[in-house]
Amino acid sequence: MIYRTQVGIVGAGPAGLVLGHLLHLEGIDSVVLEARDREYVEQRVRAGVLEQNTVNLLDEMGVGERMKREGLVHEGLELRFGGRGHRIDLAGLTGGRSITVYGQQEVVKDLIAARLEAGRELLFEVEDVELEGVDTEAPAVAFTHGGERRRLSCDVVAGCDGFHGVCRDAVPEGALTHHEREYPFGWLGVLAEAEPSSDELIYTHHDRGFALHSMRSPSITRLYLQCPPGEDVGEWPDDRIWEELNTRMELAEGFSLHEGPIIEKGVTPMRSFVAEPMQHGRLFLAGDAVHIVPPTGAKGLNLAVADVRVLSRALARWYDSGDESGLESYSETCLRRVWRTQYFSWWMTSMLHRLPDDRDGFQARLQRAQLDYVCSSESAARTLAENYVGFDSVEAPG
Ligand code: FAD
Ligand code: DHB
């Protein structure tokens, strides 16, 4: 049997699923291949902050109905340090732009439902994915599904399979340049059945380390604590987590978090990573498969969505008129946003975390000077705000 599609998409995370749906709306066929089962990808707790651009795109794609209903629109955030809280007026500083708090797994559920409704193919639990002929005009994806080995011929392959996927490694050695920084800390993330303790996100800088208060709904709080990289969650019984969060988030006038049962715990390592270019022959890499940002700027998911928006437009133009220019400039176009976002995520991370090798407190004093500046200068606050809510487009200077 000849098994073929126009675009073979490896990975059903936000990048792969958004790409599949955008292509569907253009009348372009794709097959999405996912290593995990449906329940796993729908329950995987990760990011929660959607930029205005991401919200607008999901809405325009017709998958924003539940997000509009259940998502929490935030027009500001709090920076907390030295026992005081400082509000950054995101909307006021950016001409009315905001962010929406809506869990990544909810976005993924909505996209899977839309894919199934559209009747386009999405296979879960595929194994041993191998890319073939990405240097040729007839690439293919070989994989095993339900015990059967299959070969999917495509015009183009989209590698949307995350940082630990196989697509990036299918590029011949030497064709990609890797840029990488690991941070000497990680994040312990927890989900608690507790009413959020503030209406807005709280990014906290404290001598004992960074802490973040976020949320998923009016009854679920999402919290993060800076911890050593590779920390064992077993070291963190619930009481210790609440005590540490309350210590780091203290306010001079007094503050205590609303507590409740912790229903999920996990440790995330922190790295900055970019492989470039983001294309090799007929293979286009998108999202975490080709870049990772530390989570402090809440950008990973948004960047993945921005990549595939560029890719879907380029593919639509190519199929429509044979014009290859969008595909040829895909990597360059995306990398401008990727590096702008890398900078912002690195800056937020460096400003807010306790730096373990800061023996004489030099770095801590620089951090405090920068935080004071961001909270007292409107221009500095606007720089944070416009990066946080996301740029419409990131153009090269003219
Ligand atoms: P992914 O969501 O990783 O999707 C890739 C998909 O490909 C997965 O479903 C995977 O199962 C599948 N796959 C992998 N290998 C194969 C294969 N060989 N064959 C087929 N399928 C394959 N960002 C934030 O902004 N804030 C956060 O708090 C935050 N927390 C995170 C916590 C963790 C543990 C991780 C890993 C990431 C976190 N991120 C966070 C980043 C954010 O979730 C990612 O940037 C986002 O998921 C990127 O989407 P993606 O579609 O590119 O990749
Ligand atoms: C969340 C995650 C982030 O990385 C961040 O910067 C803000 C919020 C969250 O999961 O809600």
Residue 247 pLDDT more than 80?
yes
Residue 395 pLDDT more than 60?
no
d(CA 324, CA 315): 8
Active-site residue (options: 109, 213, 280, 299) = 299
Secondary structure, 3-state, 47-100: CCEECHHHHHHHHHCCCCHHHHHHCEEECCEEEEECCEEEEECHHHHCCCCCEE
If you write DSSP's letter for every residue of 207-226 in order, what string do you get? TT--EEEEEEETTEEEEEEE
Q: Which residue reads 């325009």 in tokens?
A: 60
pLDDT at 369: 98
Token pair for 18 = 């958004």
For residue 272, is it left (φ>0), alpha (ψ between -120 and 50) or beta? beta
Distance (angstroms) between ligand 1 centre and the Cα of 312 equals 20
Q: Is 74 among the catalytic positions?
A: yes
d(CA 304, CA 338): 10
Q: What share of the chain is helix, strand, coil (3-state, %, to 5)?
A: 35, 25, 35
Nearest ligand 2 atom to alpha carbon 189:
10
Active-site residue (options: 102, 183, 203, 224) = 203
Minimal CA–CA distance to 100: which of 130, 65, 136, 75?
Answer: 75
Question: 25-80, pLDDT tens digit by residue?
Answer: 999 999 999 999 999 999 998 999 999 999 999 999 999 999 999 999 999 999 99
Task: Categorize the per-residue pLDDT at 1 as very low, low, confident or very high, splitting at 50, 70 and 90.
Answer: low
Q: Is 330 among the catalytic positions?
A: no
Question: 344-362, pLDDT tens digit by residue?
Answer: 999 999 999 999 999 999 9
Question: 308-338, pLDDT tens digit by residue?
Answer: 999 999 999 999 999 999 999 999 999 999 9
Strand, helix or coil at 396? Answer: coil
Nearest Cα residue to atom 15 of ligand 1: 165
Distance (angstroms) between ligand 2 centre and the Cα of 48 equals 5
Ligand 2 neighbours (beta carbon < 6 A): 47-49, 201, 212, 214, 222, 295-296, 298
User: What end-to-end distance do the CA atoms of the chain give, in Å?
Assistant: 52
Residues 6 or more apart in contact with residue 73 via CB below 8 angstroms: 98, 99, 100
Q: Is 299 among the catalytic positions?
A: yes
Task: Categorize the per-residue pLDDT at 391 as very low, low, confident or very high, splitting at 50, 70 and 90.
Answer: confident
Residue 145 Cβ contacting ligand 1 at under 6 Å: no
Q: Is 224 among the catalytic positions?
A: no
Residue 301 Cβ contacting ligand 1 at under 6 Å: yes
Q: Which ligand is nearest to the CA of 222?
A: 2
From the CB of residue 109, how many other CB atoms can be counted at a distance below 10 Å?
A: 18
From the CB of residue 288, how many other CB atoms can be counted at a distance below 10 Å?
A: 25
Q: Which ligand is nearest to the CA of 165?
A: 1
Q: Is 203 among the catalytic positions?
A: yes
Question: 146-194, pLDDT tens digit by residue?
Answer: 999 999 999 999 999 999 999 999 999 999 999 999 999 999 999 999 9
Strand, helix or coil at 324? Answer: coil
> Which residue of 99, 122, 288 sits with most ligand 1 atoms within 8 Å of its CB, as the best mutation to test the pocket?
288
> Which residue of 44, 45, 46, 49 sits with most ligand 2 atoms within 8 Å of its CB, as the best mutation to test the pocket?
49
Distance (angstroms) between ligand 1 centre and the Cα of 271 equals 14
